[in-house]
């Protein structure tokens, strides 16, 4: 049995942790990624300068502009993709946004999940997407989770869950959808065909704790590279017969 920490040990540990982060703050003060102002990784002024995408396109053909990111009629008729709509909050050509995402994902700046989550929640409101009943973050494979220490999509999902509708916490389900296989990062694969193949059997669903049938599902991911990941997640989730599946990302790489 693990030895329980007594309260004195606990206090010392906490004190040490606190002074450690205090020291880190002094030695490496947080600076705004855009303007360099001290205090946080994104200052209030620069936060306001983050630009929302002014239009949304069909996630399948990536050509037709649609009202709120839903599939265009032509693509819907083919019934090839189960994802109903995709909202991209910002643009990949926004260098500031890309630097923020990069700091969040690869420099492990967990606290950016609040600002980026806020950006996503506002985009969802702006495009009047169906109010989600369940929010599902795109899962990471265990190996990648261990390497990064946190699932960046889960933190964004949690923020949206608590802030999309004032006073209501939308359930986040990070158990039902599982990542079965460790896949190659989509960014490193150029061809669409191989990206799609890379995703095959990458995900699976477990019997959910909450009912998915007839529910509006919101899938959350940080970046959409080709759509292959989100399409595959939607295909797997569609077996649980939800009413609709919407996905939200911070940016799409092709836009």
Q: What is the contact surface with Zn ion in residues (CB under 5 A)?
A: 32, 34-35, 37, 43, 46, 58, 60-61, 64, 72, 75
Closer CB to Zn ion, residue 34 or residue 158? 34
Closer CB to Zn ion, residue 98 or residue 145? 98
Phi, psi of 174 (to 5 degrees): -110, 20
Smallest separation, CB 255 to Zn ion (Å): 14
Smallest separation, CB 57 to Zn ion (Å): 8
Smallest separation, CB 131 to Zn ion (Å): 24
CA angle 208, 246, 138 (to 5 degrees): 55
Smallest separation, CB 96 to Zn ion (Å): 9
Beta bridge partners of 205: 177
Contact 229, 186 (CB under 8 A): yes
Closer CB to Zn ion, residue 71 or residue 153? 71
Smallest separation, CB 75 to Zn ion (Å): 3
Contact 251, 88 (CB under 8 A): yes
Closer CB to Zn ion, residue 81 or residue 248? 81
Closer CB to Zn ion, residue 78 or residue 197? 78
Closer CB to Zn ion, residue 35 or residue 131? 35
Closer CB to Zn ion, residue 32 or residue 98? 32
- The residue whose two tokens read 């206090």 is 11
Return the structure tokens found at 16: 């040490």
Smallest separation, CB 101 to Zn ion (Å): 16
Q: How many CA atoms lie within 13 A of 44 on its CB side?
A: 0
Smallest separation, CB 45 to Zn ion (Å): 5
Nearest alpha carbon to residue 249 among 220, 217, 216: 220
Alpha carbon distance, N-terminus to C-terminus of the chain: 54
Q: Give the separation between CA 102 and CA 12, rounded to whole angstroms.
A: 35
Nearest alpha carbon to residue 91 among 66, 128, 54: 54
Report how many helices (DSSP H) and strands (DSSP E) the chain contains, helices first: 9, 9
Q: Give the separation between CA 82 and CA 49, rounded to whole angstroms.
A: 34
Q: Give the separation between CA 207 and CA 187, rounded to whole angstroms.
A: 31
């Amino acid at each position: 049995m693990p030895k329980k920490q007594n309260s004195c040990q606990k206090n010392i540990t906490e004190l040490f942790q606190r002074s450690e982060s205090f020291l880190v703050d002094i030695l490496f003060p947080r600076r705004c990624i855009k303007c360099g102002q001290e205090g946080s990784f994104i200052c209030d002024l620069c936060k306001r300068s983050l630009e929302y995408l002014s239009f949304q396109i069909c996630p399948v053909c990536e050509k037709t502009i649609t009202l709120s990111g839903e599939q265009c009629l032509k693509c819907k008729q083919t019934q090839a993709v189960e994802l109903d709509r995709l909202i991209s909050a910002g643009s990949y050509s926004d260098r500031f946004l890309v630097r923020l995402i990069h700091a969040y994902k690869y420099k492990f700046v967990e606290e950016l999940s609040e600002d980026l989550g806020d950006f996503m929640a506002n985009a969802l409101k702006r495009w009047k997407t169906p109010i989600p009943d369940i929010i599902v973050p795109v899962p990471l494979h265990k190996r990648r989770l261990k390497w990064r220490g946190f699932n960046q999509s889960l933190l964004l999902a949690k923020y949206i869950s608590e802030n999309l509708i004032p006073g209501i916490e939308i359930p986040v389900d990070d158990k039902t959808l599982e990542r079965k296989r460790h896949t190659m990062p989509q960014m490193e694969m150029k061809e669409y065909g191989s990206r799609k193949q890379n995703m095959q059997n990458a995900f699976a669903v477990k019997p959910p704790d909450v009912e998915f049938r007839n529910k509006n599902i919101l899938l959350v991911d940080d970046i959409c590279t080709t759509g292959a990941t989100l399409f595959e997640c939607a295909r797997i989730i569609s077996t649980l017969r939800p009413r609709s599946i919407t996905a939200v990302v911070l940016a799409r790489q092709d836009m």
